[in-house]
Amino acid sequence: MIRLRTPFLAAALFTGVAAVGLAPAFAQTAPGPANSTGAPSEARHHGTERMMPGQFVDGRIAFLKAELKITPAQEAQWQPVAAAMRENASALDQTITTARQNRTGTGAVQRLESREQFAKVRADNDARLLAAFKPLYASLSPEQQQMANQLVGAHHHRHHRA
């Protein structure tokens, strides 16, 4: 049975990593420019604004820290994870902003170039988070590791099913 908090925890752990897969949901923070026909963009037209990955990263970090029950003894291993999550969110924010600014062409080549850039950011973010997470994971109690395992598994399956 899936607990209500599981998707939030998974998102918290992988804020900078998974957000690349969610990039379309984050791509617009302010009303976008008019499209080629002069009509407002879809997000603007529907009155929806989308958040950037870094917008609430500190809250997600605090939530994850609480859910994993990080102890004072684990704080030294936790800090690099929190820093990696912040760096990942920042890198993704920058990539989204750049993609939005360069959205003049919507052709196949531009879309593939954008996908390639997001894939590179995702790979860099994955490597950064993994390097920071391994030492933390090694310091976790079996109960904490079980929670981390559930979070990683829940994210992976939910993200790749669609």
Is pLDDT at 14 greater than 90 in this prediction?
no
Query: Residues of 71-103 as b/e, b for ≥16 C-beta within 10 angstroms?
Result: eeebeebbebbbebbbbbbebbbebbeebeeee
Is pLDDT at 103 greater than 70 in this prediction?
yes
Q: Write the DSSP string, 10-39.
A: HHHHTHHHHTTTTHHHHS-SS-----TTSS
Helix then strand then coil, in percent of the chain rounded to 5, is: 75, 0, 25
So what's the pLDDT on residue 105?
Answer: 64
Q: Render pLDDT for 111-121 as a digit per residue (tens, 0 to 9).
A: 888 899 999 99
So what's the pLDDT on residue 102?
Answer: 77
Q: Which residue has the higher pLDDT, 149 or 13?
A: 149
So what's the pLDDT on residue 152?
Answer: 75
Q: Which residue has the higher pLDDT, 109 or 90?
A: 90
Q: Render pLDDT for 25-84 as a digit per residue (tens, 0 to 9).
A: 333 333 344 444 444 444 443 444 678 888 999 998 998 999 999 999 999 999 999 999
Is pLDDT at 141 greater than 90 in this prediction?
yes
- Work out the burial of residue 42: count CB atoms within 10 Å of its CB; fewer than 13 is exposed, 13-18 middle, 19 or more buried: exposed
Would you say 14 and 155 are in contact if contact means Cβ atoms under 8 Å apart?
yes
Residue 81 CA, distance from chain mean position: 14
Q: How far apart are CA 115 and CA 129, in angstroms?
A: 21
- Quote the percentage of the chain above a pLDDT of 70: 62
- Quote the percentage of the chain above a pLDDT of 90: 44
Would you say 41 and 35 are in contact if contact means Cβ atoms under 8 Å apart?
yes
Q: Is the pTM of this model over 0.85?
A: no
Average pLDDT, the chain: 73
